[in-house]
Structure 1
Amino acid sequence: MSIGVDLIKGQAIQTKGDTGGLNRLSVMTDSRERIKNGLFVPLIGEHFNGHRYLRQAIENGAAASLWMEREPLPTDIPADFPLFLVGDTLEALQSIAKSYLRQCRPKVIAITGSNGKTTTKDMVYSILHQAFRTFKTQGNLNNHIGMPLTILSMPEDTEVLVLEMGMNHFGELTFLSQLAKPDIAIITNIGESHIEFLGSREGIAKAKLEITNGLRRGGTLIVDGDEPLLSNVHTKAFRIVSCGYSENSDWKITDVKERVDGYRFSLNHGENVFTVPALGRHNVKNAVFSLAAARTLDMDHQLIREGLNHLTLTRMRFEKVAGLNGALLINDCYNASPTSMKASLETLKALNGFEKRVAVLGDMYELGSNEEQLHRSVAEVLTSPLTHVITIGEKGAWIAGPLRENGKYGTLSVRSFLTKEDALPYLKTLLDDRTVMLFKASRLLQLESLIEVLSVSPMSPKLPSD
C-alpha cells in the first residue's frame, strides 16, 4: 500500500537522524504483517492496543509509525526511527486516505446493499478494467478501517476505484461516503441483514441511502428497480438509474434464458444481448447494476460483454467445488439473510442434471426480535425438486419448523443437527455423482469447514457451456 510521507499530518518525532529518505511508504495496521518500507498505524480497540507492538512491526519492515499523543513514547526502538505524533491514529489513517484520494483523483464507484455487494463489486471491476486502470476493495476491507486501507493500496495511476461499503448501524455509510466522495453509487437491494440494529426494512433502506450523503453533485445513483423502498428517491442533486424486472425500470431485464453456467439476457427487449457466467437469477440483476455503471462511464457494449465473460467472483459466493464421489458442492457460506438464502435455494432447485438436491442451512444472525419468524419464512421455498434439507444450529432448526408442524415433507427428507460435527457423517452418505449440495449460513458458523472435509480439491470443477 503506497503513500507519500508528505500526506501525513502530524508532528514528526525523531531522536536522531532524519527520515532516511522515506519518500514512499506502505501502510500496515497488523504488526505481524511482513512488509517492506512500511508505515505502521497502531490502532486501539476494545481488547488491544497496537502501540504495544511497535517493536514487532519494526522487525517486520516498518520504517516509520504514527503515534497517538497520549501514549508514552517508546524507549526500545532505534534512535533514528521516525514517529509521527497525531491526536488519533485511526483518524489520521482516514485523513491520509482522503488526501491520497484527492491526489490521485480516480472516478469512484461505491457499492452497498444487504446482499450482492461483493459480487457486484467483482462484476464492476471485471467490466471496467477492460477500458480503465481499475482497482477494487480487496477481500472484505469495507468498513471505517478497511476502506482507508483499500484507498491507500491503490496505484497512483488508478483511473477507477471500486469501493465496497459495509455497514450495520446508522451513520456508518454517511462517514464512508463522505470520505470517498463517489461519482457513482450502487444500492444492490434491501434485505433483512442487520435488522437487529436498524429496526425494520424501512430503517435498512434509510441507512443504505446514506451512501448518497457523499455522492458528488451531478453523480449517479443506481438502485434496485424492483424494490418499493427505493422507488421514492427524488432529487436534482444527482441522476437516478433503476435496474430490474419491473416495467418502470430504466434498465429493464428481459428475455432471460438459463444456461448451464449462468444466464443470457437482454435489456428493454433490445438487440444487445449479454451473458453472465454466474449461477443464480439474482446475479442477472447484479450484472445489470455493473452494466449501468459502465455505461455511465461511456463504455461500449462489446467491452462490457468481454468483461462479464471473464468474470472471476470472490470465494464463497455460490462457488462450485468438486465433492467426494463425484458430487458437486456449492460454497455459498460467506453470509446469509432470509432473502439471500431463498435466492440460493431457488438457484439450487433450478440446477439440471442432479437427482439429489441437498440444502445444508444454518443459523442466521442480526435479525432482531423477529429472528424465529424470519428463519421460518425460508420454509416457503423448501419444495420440490429439493430432496434433502439439513439444518445446523439452534436457530437453523427453525427453518424446517413449518415443514414438521404441517407434515408437509412429501418426498423431502428433513434432518436437524445441533453442530457441524454431528451433521458430517450423514452428509457423507449423500455424496455421489448425482448429488449437488448447497451450504448457506451466517459467517459465524463457517460452514466451509464442512466443504473442506467433503471436497476432493479446493479447485472448482469446470462445467460445460452451451
Structure 2
Amino acid sequence: MKIEQLHQLFLQSKGITTDTRSVKTNQLFFALKGDNFNGNTFAWQAIKKSAGYAIIDEVKYAQNDRYIVVGNVLETLQQLARFHRKYLNIPILAITGSNGKTTTKELIHAVLRKKFDTAATTGNLNNHIGVPLTLLSMKRTTDFGIVEMGANHAGEIKHLCEIALPNYGYITNFGKAHLEGFGSIEGVIKAKSEMYDHIKAHKGVIFLNADDPVQVAQSSYEHSFTFGTGKNVDVKAEYLYDSQTAQVSIDNHLYKSTLTGSYNSVNIAAAICIGKYFKVNENSISQAIGSYIPTNNRSQIIKVGGLTLLMDAYNANPTSMKAALESFSKNPAKDKIVILGDMFELGSASAEEHQQIVLTLEKMDLAKIYLVGSNFFKTHSHKSNIETYETFTDLSEALKHQKPTQGYILIKGSRGMALERVLDVLREKN
C-alpha cells in the first residue's frame, strides 16, 4: 500500500495506537517491534478490540484484509508522519537541547496556544517513535505544531528533522548529557546542532539565547531571533529570582512564574521571545507564564509538613545537576538539605563527573547531603555532612531514622533512580 493510500485510511480513522491495551474503535494499530516484544504477534488482539486496521511487517500474521503488510512498520509510521506533516502544511517549531527542553516546550506551548490552535509533544515522547506520534496527533484544525526532539547519539536529530520538517528551531543548551552515546561535549554540540543545519538548509528561523557563546558560535545565521541580557538582541531580558521562583523582566514588564530554580529564567525568556515573535500580546504571555504549573517531578515545589521540597527528579546530568545546586545554594533559607541520585549514560566519564559533583557540594553551605546510587557510593569526601548510600533502600532506612522535619530539600537524580520515592519516606509517620 502506498503512503498516500495509508494516509487516507488514517484521515478516516480515530488515530494511531501502538498498544493493544488502549485500542479504540477504528484506530490504526502499528505493530512495532522492540528488544523484548514483537507487535505483529499482538495484531489480532487489536483487530479483536475493533481497531480499523493493523499495520504489520510479517505476512504470516495477516488473517484478512484488515491487516496491512508493509516492509517495516516503524519506517512506515515515520513516512506516514512526514506525509501528514506536509499535508497539514503548518508551521512547526522543533526544540532540542541537553537540559530543560520539556519545561521549555511546555512554556512555549502555554504561550502560543493563547493565539493558535496548538499541538505539542505529550510528556517526553521525543524519540524516533514519539516524534511521528506527535505529528500524527495534529489535526486539520491545528494552526501550529511544537515538536520536542531528544537524542542520545549522532544523526538522531537530523533524522527527526527529516520527519518533522520544522520551519523554526530552538536549542535550550549544550550540556554533559548522554556522553556515553555522544562521546564528549563536542559530540553533544555537533549532534544537537543538526537542528541548526536543517533550519539553515530550509531557510527557516532560529530562536537563539544570545548569552550562550557556544550557541552563538554554532548558529551564525542571518534568520535568527535572539533574546538575552546583552546589547543588540531582539528581546532584552533581565533575570530575577526571589527565594523560590524564577522571574523575568522585559521592557519593564515582570513575568512571574511558579517555577523553582534560577536556571528556569532562561526557559521562561525563551518562551516570551517566541511568543513575541509570533505576536502574542503581552498580557496573554504573562498569563501563560504565570499559570503554568510544572508536573511529573520537574521543578516542582511540594510541601510536606514543615519541609519545602524542590522536586527535580525527572532527569539529571552533570550540567543540570550543577545548575540546580548553584541555584539552590543561593536560597536564603536555613537548614538546606540535598538528596542526589546517580547520573546515568555518562560512559567512561561517570566516575569523574560524580566526583566533581561532590567537590561542588563541599564548597556549599548545606546542612545535610545525601548521595545515593552505585556511582555516588564510590565517591569520596572529607566533609562530615555528606553521606553516601549504594541503594535507595539504604537511603530510605537512613531517612527513617533521622527524618528531617524542617527546612528546604532539593531532590534530583536521573529518571532511573526514581527519587520521587523520597516523598513516601518523608510522609511516613514514625
TM-score normalised by L of structure 2 = 0.91
How far, CA to CA, are the matches of 2:295 and 2:192 in structure 1? Answer: 22
The answer (yes or no) to whether the contact 1:322–1:455 under 8 Å persists in 2 is: no
How far, CA to CA, are the matches of 1:7 and 1:333 in structure 2? Answer: 44
Give the counterpart of 2:213 among 221, 228, 237: 228
How far, CA to CA, are the matches of 1:35 and 1:328 in structure 2? Answer: 42
The answer (yes or no) to whether the contact 1:390–1:415 under 8 Å persists in 2 is: yes
Unaligned 5+ residue runs, structure 2?
none
How far, CA to CA, are the matches of 2:12 and 2:26 in structure 1? Answer: 10
Give the counterpart of 2:84 among 100, 111, 117: 100
Match of 1:162 in 2: 146
How far, CA to CA, are the matches of 1:454 and 1:250 in structure 2? Answer: 46
Match of 2:19 in 1: 30
Give the counterpart of 1:185 among 162, 169, 180: 169
Match of 1:350 in 2: 330
Describe the SS at the equivalent of 2:269.
helix
Q: How does 1:352-371 map to 2 (within 5 A)?
A: 352-353=332-333, 355-371=334-350
Alpha-carbon RMSD across the aligned residues, in angstroms, is: 2.6
Q: How does 1:216-365 map to 2 (within 5 A)?
A: 217-233=202-218, 239-246=223-230, 250-254=234-238, 256-267=239-250, 270-323=251-304, 325-353=305-333, 355-365=334-344
* Cα displacement (A) at 1:298: 2.0
Describe the SS at the equivalent of 2:352.
helix
Q: How does 1:44-59 map to 2 (within 5 A)?
A: 44-59=33-48
Q: 1:73-131 CA distances to partner (integer Å, 9 max, x unpaired)?
A: 434xxx5x512221111111111111221222222111100000000001001111111
How far, CA to CA, are the matches of 1:421 and 1:330 in structure 2? Answer: 21
The answer (yes or no) to whether the contact 1:178–1:213 under 8 Å persists in 2 is: no
How far, CA to CA, are the matches of 2:90 and 2:402 in structure 1? Answer: 50
How far, CA to CA, are the matches of 1:302 and 1:155 in structure 2? Answer: 28
The answer (yes or no) to whether the contact 1:32–1:60 under 8 Å persists in 2 is: no
Shift in CA distance, 22/414, structure 1 to aligned 2, threshold 3 Å: closer
- Report how many aligned residue pairs link the two structures: 425
Match of 1:174 in 2: 158
How far, CA to CA, are the matches of 2:355 and 2:173 in structure 1? Answer: 21
Paired AA for residue 257 in structure 1:
L
* Cα displacement (A) at 1:381: 3.4
Q: 1:407-427 CA distances to partner (integer Å, 9 max, x unpaired)?
A: 3x3xx6111111111111322
* Cα displacement (A) at 1:447: 1.4
Match of 2:419 in 1: 447
Q: 1:300-326 CA distances to partner (integer Å, 9 max, x unpaired)?
A: 222211111111324111222232x43
Shift in CA distance, 314/174, structure 1 to aligned 2, threshold 3 Å: farther
* Cα displacement (A) at 1:282: 0.8
The answer (yes or no) to whether the contact 1:190–1:227 under 8 Å persists in 2 is: no
Match of 2:62 in 1: 74
How far, CA to CA, are the matches of 2:73 and 2:136 in structure 1? Answer: 15
How far, CA to CA, are the matches of 2:368 and 2:206 in structure 1? Answer: 41
Shift in CA distance, 429/258, structure 1 to aligned 2, threshold 3 Å: farther
Describe the SS at the equivalent of 1:36.
coil
TM-score normalised by L of structure 1 = 0.84
Q: How does 1:364-383 map to 2 (within 5 A)?
A: 364-382=343-361, 383=363
Shift in CA distance, 339/398, structure 1 to aligned 2, threshold 3 Å: farther
* Cα displacement (A) at 1:235: 5.2
Describe the SS at the equivalent of 2:21.
coil
How far, CA to CA, are the matches of 1:265 and 1:210 in structure 2? Answer: 29
Q: 1:356-387 CA distances to partner (integer Å, 9 max, x unpaired)?
A: 21111121122232222211222343244311
Shift in CA distance, 429/130, structure 1 to aligned 2, threshold 3 Å: farther
Paired AA for residue 186 in structure 1:
Y
Q: Which structure shows the higher helix fraction?
A: 2
Shift in CA distance, 333/299, structure 1 to aligned 2, threshold 3 Å: same
Percent identity, aligned pairs only? 31
Unaligned 5+ residue runs, structure 1?
11-18, 457-466
Match of 1:425 in 2: 397
